[in-house]
Amino acid sequence: MSENPKDTAVTLPAQSDGATLTKDAAPGETLLKVTGLQKHFPIKKGLLQRQVGAVHAVDGIDFEVRAGETLGVVGESGCGKSTMGRLITRLLEPTGGKVEFEGKDITHLGVSGMRPLRRDVQMIFQDPYSSLNPRHTIGTIVGAPFRLQGVEPEGGIKKEVQRLLSVVGLNPEHYNRYPHEFSGGQRQRIGIARALALNPKLVVADEPVSALDVSIQAQVVNLLDDLQQELGLTYVIIAHDLSVVRHVSDRIAVMYLGKIVELADRESLYRAPMHPYTKALMSAVPIPDPRRKNAKSERILLKGDVPSPISPPSGCRFHTRCWKATQICKTTEPKLVELKPGQQVACHHPENFEDQAPQDTVLLTIAKEAAELVADEVLAESAETSAAVAAEVAEIEAEAAAEEPAEAAPAAESGNPETAGEK
């Protein structure tokens, strides 16, 4: 069986059902919009199962997914990525906020209301070993969505399933085999075939390759990429580090403890990350660059684990691990704002940009400890770039100020009665 997706010609799925094939949102238009999305899992204790607290897994996030794009979502384990994925596919009921798909509010749709959406939005799961029922043949597994939705493809389910298997680079003759007869990469291809069966508009892939050997990861990522080109799919790809999403994403959202801390197009994020957490995540991804062969390690080591989402830190949630944290970070939550076109960030002291709270200069003790884990080069570079941006902004402001009196002068000359007599 070929593991190479390039060996397989990708063809559009047969038109089995007109309703599933309508691509309503034109490329670039908003397909999915999320506003203030929250999921708090209650913590219950005792015989009476009283609620004693809540896990703030997703705690008020806003973003949109545009038709035809790939949005990568990254963050450490436990930051709420999977919960977010399950919320937008409506496998979980949100605690608060709104989810809109093609302009329609789907936040609290019931089973029947969700039926058409189940075709349009599909999920690929992390573990290809546990997400496939070992007692079913792959023909049954990939054909299940047709049976569940009561869809009869042209030429029958078997023919369509075999076609889907070949689309994802599997041998259609292996229709009657069981999951254990396939390798990890092949099983993930089965999961992908199942997700594509009903010709969805949005595919949410939760850590689609993290359970696979590194050598197989690139093949599966390439397959997803090829399928997107051929079928015009829209993806949300969830991963715990940037190495998986960096090549395939158009935009990347960085999550930390239930919040989005930075959301930017891929180029901007890689060229000049603005949130210190993004910078730390990026420093953990080895970049093969011969020019940097002899350079000292610039790795940023984050102190400790992610704090508990049961009682997240006050203010900026990253302040307990950030080397730039000052008092304002502890007390005031920074909003996610667009500081540069196409780059939103939630930080009082962003990297590669003018300080948003320049008056607040005294580092927290915790930040001084965190700074010890950050390479000197990184600290120096950070200070340098922020100073450069600040100087640039000051220059622009000075230029604007110099232009202003010239424009204002005629009005003052002609119209100010107090000064008129002094002439």
Ligand X SMILES: Nc1ncnc2c1ncn2[C@@H]1O[C@H](COP(=O)(O)OP(=O)(O)OP(=O)(O)O)[C@@H](O)[C@H]1O
Cα gap 234→226, rounded to integer Å = 12
Handedness of CA 370, 375, 381, 387 (dihedral sign): positive
Q: Could you say whether residue 89 binds ligand X (CB under 6 A)?
A: no
Q: Could you say whether residue 94 binds ligand X (CB under 6 A)?
A: no
Q: How many residues bind ligand X (CB under 6 A)?
A: 13
Report the nearest approach of ligand X to the CB of residue 65 (Å). 18
Instruction: Count other Cβ atoms within 10 Å, centred on residue 266.
Output: 18
Report the nearest approach of ligand X to the CB of residue 282 (Å). 18
Q: Could you say whether residue 131 binds ligand X (CB under 6 A)?
A: no
Query: Among residues 75, 169, 276, 312, which is the contact residue for ligand X, using CB under 6 A?
Result: 75
Say if residues 1 and 174 touch (Cβ distance below 8 Å). Answer: yes
Residue span binding ligand X (CB under 6 A) among the ranges 10-18, 79-87, 169-177, 391-399 = 79-87
Per-residue CA distances from 174 to 154, 158, 181, 265 (Å): 21, 12, 10, 40
Nearest to 305, CA basis, from 76, 41, 83: 76
Report the nearest approach of ligand X to the CB of residue 49 (Å). 14
Q: Could you say whether residue 200 binds ligand X (CB under 6 A)?
A: no
Nearest to 257, CA basis, from 59, 94, 71, 52: 59
Q: Could you say whether residue 83 binds ligand X (CB under 6 A)?
A: yes
Report the nearest approach of ligand X to the CB of residue 195 (Å). 18
Report the nearest approach of ligand X to the CB of residue 55 (Å). 4
Query: Among residues 15, 77, 229, 416, which is the contact residue for ligand X, using CB under 6 A?
Result: 77
Give the β-pairing of 121-124 and 343-345. Answer: unpaired
Q: Could you say whether residue 237 binds ligand X (CB under 6 A)?
A: no
Amino acid at 16: S
Cα gap 368→362, rounded to integer Å = 10
Q: Could you say whether residue 41 binds ligand X (CB under 6 A)?
A: yes
Q: Could you say whether residue 319 binds ligand X (CB under 6 A)?
A: no
**CA 206, 72, 97 angle in degrees (round to 5)?**
80
Going residue by residue from 284 to 313, which x/- string records binding to ligand X, judged by CB under 6 A? -------------------------x----
Q: Could you say whether residue 78 binds ligand X (CB under 6 A)?
A: yes
SS3 content of the chain, % helix, strand, coil (to 5): 40, 20, 40
Going residue by residue from 42 to 61, which x/- string records binding to ligand X, judged by CB under 6 A? -------------x-x----
Residues in contact with ligand X by CB under 6 A are 41, 55, 57, 75, 77-83, 240, 309
